[in-house]
Amino acid sequence: MPGPGYAFFGTEEWENVKGAMSDWEATRTAYDKVPEIPVVRRFERGALDHFGANHCVAVSSGTAALVTALAALDIGPGDEVIVPGYTFLASIGAIIYSGATPIIAEIDESFTLNPADVESRITERTKAIMPVHMLGAPSDMDALTAIAQRHGLLILEDVAQACGASFHGRHLGTIGDAGAFSLNTFKVITCREGGFLLTNSPRTYQRAYSFHDQGWFPLEGQRNTDRGSGDLIFGLNFRLADLAAGVALAQLSKLDRVLATTRAAKRTLAEQISTHPRFTRRVLHDPDGECGTILAYIFNERADAQAVAKALGTKTMDDSGKHHYANMAQLQALGRGERVCPFRKPEPVSDRYNPGALPQTDDILQRSIALSVGVTDSYLGAGFGISVSSTPEQITHIAAQFRRAVASL
């Protein structure tokens, strides 16, 4: 089971898809005045209510949400964006396509940006910080917000892995200047392929809307117009399909239930694994606000983490697909000055993306193991663990397996 929302599929998803089909069918003769797509707008309004933001734009993927947000925030050539070296490749790819330069920074034992390291990488070109709320848990938004304010920087939150999580009572994705969410199969809730972005700024919203839909201006409740007010920009088409929006709308209504179930499963698993002198739990900046999708342990010794991972048939977190900067072939090629993006000139040759460039990140990930709770994804290094559908007996069995592997070190 990829993400926990999957386990909650039911009649609501079917009904919304049927509703979207009916709306579609009803307008089949209205060729020249195709109306707003009601289910997409309903999803956007639902997201605003749920997350308490002023504006939402539904888009076709989390990657589309990131690119749209970068365009909306006017980030482009000549700008630098600071992003963690532990994230999914898409965070960095979106920066590349914006024309800006990604500056990778260290994570700490929360698996999110190390604020002190972020501050040390700020130059006169730095335009934004992109905190990635990895594995369902918030970055240190107090420290990052203070840094951004001190240096006049924007914050774009990558909330793809943490939909519904919060930081001391504030929903992730509403703390920075914009927040980008994914609804793909491996995320907290899903419509197979989709995403959305949130912002409280009317100007960012207008630019995001225009960018995701061919430069149209948003007009609440009416057909879009090209006579709106705001910035005239070329857009592309990153619209969310209505059938997917129907599924997303149903999933959104279940988000609190999905999270409650995931958090309860994580609590049970963590209690049974308990503590041990050889490892510590991942640092959580807000234990009550995280999604609970992944339970991660950091061992004191790399060899211990490797032995336990081997015994469980999983991997240490440095070996997790395109989530660790050193595993991103495109990023290495960028550093070699290769043309990794057809839309821009290659970057000057640089060793800033070389394996070993982020020693703290490498060290932490090499000593860490991620157990699945709500998100089972061996590519993310979380191929071992439980799911939200696991029975109490299954959870006990998995906890015992982990404890046995540690005991035999």
Ligand X SMILES: *Cc1c(COP(=O)(O)O)cnc(C)c1O
Residues 98 and 64 sit within 8 Å (Cβ to Cβ): no
Residues 86 and 111 sit within 8 Å (Cβ to Cβ): yes
Exactly one of 33, 127, 187, 322 is catalytic; name it: 187
Looking at residue 382, what DSSP letter applies? B
Choices 29-37, 41-49, 59-67, 305-313 (CB under 6 A): range interacting with ligand X: 59-67
Choices 47-55, 137-145, 156-164, 401-409 (CB under 6 A): range interacting with ligand X: 156-164
Contacts of 341 (CB under 8 A, 6+ apart): 96, 97
Residue placing its CB nearer to ligand X in the complex, 68 or 316:
68
Position 166 contacts ligand X (CB under 6 A): no
What span, in angstroms and rounded, lies between the C-alpha atoms of 373 and 375? 6
Position 61 contacts ligand X (CB under 6 A): yes
Position 88 contacts ligand X (CB under 6 A): yes
Q: Which of 160, 165, 208, 265 binds ligand X (CB under 6 A)?
A: 160
Residues 387 and 4 sit within 8 Å (Cβ to Cβ): yes
What span, in angstroms and rounded, lies between the C-alpha atoms of 124 and 135? 31
User: Which residue is listed with tokens 């040759």?
Assistant: 349
Position 51 contacts ligand X (CB under 6 A): no
Q: Which of 5, 8, 80, 87 binds ligand X (CB under 6 A)?
A: 87
Q: Which of 16, 68, 91, 320 binds ligand X (CB under 6 A)?
A: 91
Which residues inside 101-140 make contact with ligand X, applying CB under 6 A? 132
CB of 369 to ligand X, least distance (A): 19
DSSP secondary structure string for all residues of 154-194: EEEEE-TT-TT-EETTEETTSSSSEEEEE-STTSSS--SS-
CB of 383 to ligand X, least distance (A): 16
Dihedral pair phi/psi, residue 196, rounded to 5°: -160, 160
Please indicate whether residue 187 is annotated as part of the active site: yes
Position 182 contacts ligand X (CB under 6 A): yes
Position 179 contacts ligand X (CB under 6 A): no
Q: Residue 347 in 3-state DSSP?
A: coil
Q: Which of 3, 4, 46, 62 binds ligand X (CB under 6 A)?
A: 62
CB of 108 to ligand X, least distance (A): 17
Residue placing its CB nearer to ligand X in the complex, 46 or 194:
194
Rounded to an integer, what is the distance from CA 388 to the centroid of its chain? 20
Which residues inside 186-225 make contact with ligand X, applying CB under 6 A? 195
193 class by beta-carbon count within 10 Å (0-12 exposed, 13-18 middle, 19+ buried): middle
Which residues in this chain contact ligand X in the complex, by CB under 6 A? 61-63, 87-88, 90-91, 132, 158, 160-161, 182, 184, 195
